[in-house]
Amino acid sequence: MIIIADGGSTKTNWCQIDNAGTKIYFNTEGYNPYFIDTPGIVASLEKSLPDTLPRAEVTEVYYYGAGCSVPEKVEIVERAMRQVFTSSKVYVGHDLLAAARALLGRNMGFAAILGTGTNTCLYNGKDVELNIDSLGYFLGDEGSGSFIGKRLLRDFMRGYLPDGLQDAFKDQYGLTNEEIFDRLYNQPLPNRFLASFSKFAYDHNNISYCREIVLDGFETFFRNLVTHYPNFQNYSFNCVGSVGYNFRDVLEQVAKSHGMEVGKIIRSPIDDLVQYHING
C-alpha cells in the first residue's frame, strides 16, 4: 500500500492506494514546516488520520508539501512521517513539484500555485528547473489568498471598505483591531489567518472593490514573478490552488493580457498527482 499527499499551508489532500488499486481519499490540516514542528505534525496526524487506515501496511509515503524546499525543513516533515508510518519508505518533496507533475505530467512547461501562498516554476518534465522565490507572505506571495486577505484586512482596519462591505465584514467576523493584531503577531499560522479572508472577496465578487483587489493581486503576481521567467510567453499558464481556481476568470484575463495562453487551472493536484505515480 502506498500513500500520496499534497500538503498546502492550510490543508493536505491524501490518497491511499492498496495493492488492488483501490483509492481512498481523505484530508488533514496543512503542515508547512516553517510554521509547525515534528511533534506538532505527529500530534495532528495521530488525531486526523482515518481509523481505517492500516498504517503498518503502508510501504511507501510520497508527501509533497508547502515549505519543503530546503533540507532542514524537509527533515522536519520526514521525521514526522517516519514516526507515524513506521514500516514505510518516506519521500518528501516540495508542493511546487507536485503542482508541476500534476499539471504537466512528463512534459516541460510553466506551473504555478495560487492558494494560501504563491509559487511558480519552469519544469523540465521531471524536476523543477527554475524557480523565482515567492518570498512568503511577509515579503511576497503576490496573488495568493494571504495577499488578497492582507489587503482586505488592512482596508477594513482603516475603515476603507466601500459599498456596505465594512459592516458586512464586521458582522461576519466580529474582529476588533486588537484581536487582529493578536492573531497576526502572537498566534500561530498568521499566513493561514490572512488567507481565510480571501473567501470574503469570493463571496462578494459581484462588488467592484472585491474584483479590483483580486485583479490587482494577479497583476502584481504576473509583474513580479511570471514575467521574469525567460521566454515566459512561449509557455501556457498552468496553475493549481483554490484562489487561482475560484477566480480563474480574472486569472485567465490577466494571463492573456500578458501574452500567455491558458492551459490547466485546477483546484487541487491530488488526482493528477496520483495518476502520475500510477503511470510511473
Measuring CA to CA, how many Å separate 112 from each of 31, 40, 61, 240?
19, 28, 24, 6
Three-state SS for 3-18 is EEEEECCCEEEEEEEC
Q: Residue 67 has what pLDDT?
A: 85
Query: Is 213 part of a structural domain of the chain?
Result: no
Query: Domain total for the chain?
Result: 1
Phi, psi of 79 (to 5 degrees): -60, -40
CA dihedral 172, 178, 184, 188 (to 10 degrees): -90
Query: Is 57 part of a structural domain of the chain?
Result: yes
Task: Report the predicted TM-score, pTM, of the whole model to 2 decimal places.
Answer: 0.83
- The continuous run of DSSP H or E covering 278 comes out as helix 270-279
Query: Is 61 part of a structural domain of the chain?
Result: yes
Q: How many Cβ atoms are within 10 Å of 105's Cβ, its own excluded?
A: 15
Q: Residue 149 has what pLDDT?
A: 93
Query: Is 35 part of a structural domain of the chain?
Result: yes
Q: Retrieve residue 275's grid coordinates.
A: 495518476
Q: Residue 22 has what pLDDT?
A: 86
Query: Is 90 part of a structural domain of the chain?
Result: yes
Do residues 251 and 214 touch, judged by C-beta distance below 8 A? no
State the chain's maximal CA–CA distance in angstroms: 58
**Helical packing angle, 145-158 and 165-173, nearest 10°:** 110
Query: Is 227 part of a structural domain of the chain?
Result: no
Domain containing residue 41: 2-98+270-279
Query: Is 50 part of a structural domain of the chain?
Result: yes
* CATH number, domain containing residue 14: 3.30.420.40
Query: Is 65 part of a structural domain of the chain?
Result: yes
3-class DSSP state for residue 237? strand
pLDDT by residue, tens only, the chain of 280 residues: 899 999 877 789 999 988 888 899 999 988 888 888 999 999 999 998 888 888 888 899 999 988 888 899 999 999 999 999 988 899 999 889 999 999 999 999 999 999 988 999 999 998 999 999 888 778 888 999 999 999 999 999 999 999 789 999 999 998 889 899 998 898 877 888 899 999 999 999 889 999 999 999 999 999 999 999 999 999 999 999 999 999 999 999 999 999 999 999 999 888 898 888 888 7
CA dihedral 83, 85, 86, 90 (to 10 degrees): -90
The string of DSSP letters for 98-155 reads HHHHHHHTTS-EEEEEESSSEEEEEE-SSSEEE-----HHHH--TTSHHHHHHHHHHH
The whole-angstrom separation of Cα 61 and Cα 91 is: 6
